[in-house]
Every structure is written in C-alpha cells, then in structure tokens.
Copies of this chain bind each other. A is one copy, B any other.
Amino acid sequence: MADIFPHTQTKEPADSRDLSEPLIDHAEGQLFLNETFKIIVEDVLRKGTDVNEKVCEWKEPEELALLLDLELRSTGEPQQRLLQRVKDVAKYSVKTSHPRFLNQQYAGVDYHSLSGRFLSEALNTNLHTYEVAPVFVLMENEVLRGLRHLVGWTEGDGLFWPGGSASNMCAINLARYQLFPEVKSQGLFGLPRMTIFTSPESHYSVKKGAAYLGIGTDNVIMVKVDDRGRMIPGDLDEKITLAKSQGTVPLLVSCTSGTTVQGAFDPLDQIADICEKHQIWMHVDAAWGGSVLFSKQHRHLMKGVDRANSVAWNPHKMLVAGLQCSVLLLKDTTNLLRQCHTTNATYLFQQDKFYDVSLDIGDKSVQCGRKVDCLKLWLMWKAVGTDGLAQRIDKAFLHVGYLVEQMKKREGFHLLDEPEFVNVCFWYIPSSLRGKERDADYQDRLAKVAPVIKERMVKRGTMMVGYQPLGNRVNFFRVIVFSPLVSQKDMDFFLNEIERLGNDL
C-alpha cells in the first residue's frame, strides 16, 4: 500500500487544556475513511463476491486471536497499522455476500441498499422525534405503508424493530395489552395463566419472547404440524379449547409464513377462522417468508394474511436489505402501539413543541435510541421498484426449481420433501450408505455425514451451507437459495462440491 500517511506515528496528544481547537483532525480522518472505503470495495465487495475467491478463511479461534491482536491498549496506533487491521478484519470475516454463502437466511448484496446503509451510518440519526429525524420519520411511515399495502391493509400501524425476534415479542405484548391493559401498570401477578399457540417448527423467538415477557415457555403450546411442517388447524382448535377448559387465557396464535428450517407456510386462512371463532390475536411471523407478498405468482402462500392482527417481516432476509431491517406491521387503527408503550418522557416528547407531536414516534417503541433501518429498504425499493423486487422473489423460486430437479437426477441427494419455498432440505447419502436404509446403524451413520461435509467445506472455504436435525429426522442440509447474486452455475457447483466432499464417507 502506498504511503498515504507520511507521519505514521500517532501525533503528540493535543494539550487537553487548550480549548481553542477540536480533537478531531478532519483531513486525516477523511483520508482514513477513503482508504477504508477502497478496502471495502476491493476486499469485501469485489473479492468477497467472486466465485474464484474463498467464502471463508477458516482459522482456529486461538490462531485467529493471535493474528488479529485484539487487545485494547493505552496508546493509539499509527494509521497504516489501523488500515492493516481493516484489511485483516475483512480477510478473516466470512463473505456473507458471496454467491456460495448459502448458510443462512441472509446473503448477497444490493448496492443501493448498501449505499443507504452507509448514508444512515454517516448521518447517525436517532429515529425518535421529527425534530431530529424529519426525513426518516416520514420515510419510515411510507415504507411501513408500502409493506402494509402488500399485506392487504389500507390502514394500520407498525414500526421497525431491531430484528424479527423483537417484532414477535412486541406482538405478544400488544395482544396482552389489548386483553389486559392493567398489565402495563400492575404486572402479571394474580392474573390467570395466559397461553400462546404456535407450531414446534416456529422460530425460537416465540419461546424467548414468552420467557422474557413473564409468560413462561411452558405456556407456549405447541400445535401439531403436517409432514411438511405446516400447522394443522384442527389441532389448533382443539388445543385452544383445551387450554380454555383448563382455565388459561389464550392470548395469541403465532403462525409462521416461511419456517426457519423447512420454509413451510402455515395455512393462514384456516387459522384466521379459528382465531376469529375464539377471538384470539392472530400474529404472523413472516420474518422469513413475508417477501413472497411481492410476487404475484407466489403470494398465494400467504393467503389470509390480511386477516391477521400483526405481521412480523424481515426485509434483511430475503429482500437483501442488510442487517438489521425488520418490521412489525399492525392492522390496528386505535393507536394501540403508542398506548401500550408510552411513558411520555418529557425530556424527549415535549407536548409544547411547535409542530405536530404525533410525528414523535419514538414513544411507540420500547427502545429509546433507535437506528434508522428504513432508508436502505426505501432506496433499494425506489431503485428497482416493486416489480424489480418481485422479480427477485420469482427468480429465487426458479433457482430452487432447478436445484431440486438436478438433485433428483443425481444419486445420493435425498430431499426431505418437495420444498414449498426457497429452503431445500436434503440428506446427502454417501455411496457407502446407499441401499443400507434398513441397517440398524443407518440413522446414526447418516447423522454424522453432514457435520463432516460441513467441516471439510469450511476448512476449504469453497462454500457454506447449514445442517440440523429436526424432530426425529437426523442431521440434514438446509440450502437456501435467494441471493440476487447467484446463478445456475453456483447451483451446479454446490451439487458437485457436496459430492466431492462427501462421497468417500
């Protein structure tokens, strides 16, 4: 690297007693930012998305700690050393935008979204009042309106939260507040036991939320699912009736649109009937699957979503908006969100301001400081339009179709089920195990295959894909295909690589 910082040593510490000059040197700072930007473009965005480069550079924790020299010391470091650190962080981090990072529910990169993210960071806005966040108060509102429109609501409310887990929890809190507004002031002590209904394949945040909110994980009642992981409405009805007969108060049904592992869509319309019958808050955790609402072709998977009370949706997942970008959408028009959460702090939400204080939305949240998470989605949406986002969703389904078709043509790939969504769950059966399905130790041996393949791929750095057991099904791979950076050749590579890494097992 050319020596752009001729004075590599940190400067003499300025005299603290001198108040005439600020502590920050803008010129030096901007130079550093420029150099970092170049590293980001080259190492993270170019190399990090190049299929000829590694997805990850595996190091054992001890070795990595040594390489990174993380310790925080008394004195500062020269700029060149710091730039090397920036390079190292980029080098040893997993390239989550890489077309062969198929490990999680986020992947790929959208440059408009990323531009919005950089701008949000630079502006460092706290989204609580119109006074300090005029642009973003209005923008968040508009993005929420756009998302609600896709749900099928012309009115309603909502807010961005730091993740789908937080959105799911908030839904529980709102359902509780609507039934028992006194919980806000008096707590749950002395109240009847409350119950929440969800499927065992729902996201673990429903349980975490129940624990956090003082409801308890035992009061999360698991409704049976069919083979494909979809909630069985008849069983829901029975479980609600049973819970009522046991003297508990059913609070909320949390359905899932796009379960984490199998990508299943609970039958919302039928569940809505049951929620209506029992008058229970219907929440849809569409953190993962919500983005199908953009697609004319696939939005039927969420038919009935407009009948829900609340919908959680993470544009940071399938829409590639970047972490964190998560909303809770509400059908409510009675200002429930604000009533449930307000404490009317006078230092922030003064009522004698010179503008319409209903724009001071911060008190709707249980957060105080709140990052701006709407700009990245807004800018990306403006850039490609609703149609462009729909196209990405449709293409993801096509990719999955192709992948499944190819798997069927190859020996050794065994699907759990025909996928409903972009999660493809499969076992890879090495040749030594083929035809041995009836052996007593078959399942045990099969369970050990995925972890070994995973270890090999991570150590080679060629790709990343996750595995897990589920119910009585031993370890299987879940490959998720939706990044706008992937193409057919990445899927072919994926299949070949699994074979190459696993065939000798």
B114 lies within 8 A of A369 (CB): no
Interface centre among A14, A71, A185, A322 (most CB of B within 10 A): A185
A110-152: CB near B (< 8 Å → 1, else 0) gives 1110110111011111100011111111110011001000000
B186 lies within 8 A of A216 (CB): yes
B121 lies within 8 A of A117 (CB): yes
In the complex with contacts A61-B355, A142-B71, A324-B369, A383-B44 CB distance below 8 A: no
A223-231, A234-242, A270-278, A387-395: which lies at the interface: A387-395
A487 lies within 8 A of B379 (CB): no
In the complex with contacts A124-B96, A165-B368, A76-B213 CB distance below 8 A: no
In the complex with contacts A106-B124, A115-B32, A162-B367, A455-B354 CB distance below 8 A: yes
| Chain B residues with CB under 8 A of A119 | 36, 39-40, 44, 86, 89-90
A347 lies within 8 A of B261 (CB): yes
B118 lies within 8 A of A391 (CB): no
In Å, the complex CA distance between A36 and B113 comes to 11
Asked whether any CB of chain B lies closer than 8 Å to the CB of A338, the reply is no
Chain A residues 373-410 with CB under 8 Å of chain B are 375, 378-379, 381-388, 391-392, 394-395, 398-399, 402
B96 lies within 8 A of A398 (CB): no
In Å, the complex CA distance between A488 and B20 comes to 5
| Chain B residues with CB under 8 A of A355 | 60-61
Asked whether any CB of chain B lies closer than 8 Å to the CB of A178, the reply is no
A391 lies within 8 A of B132 (CB): no
A118 lies within 8 A of B32 (CB): no
In Å, the complex CA distance between A188 and B488 comes to 53
A354 lies within 8 A of B65 (CB): no
Interface centre among A16, A99, A316 (most CB of B within 10 A): A16
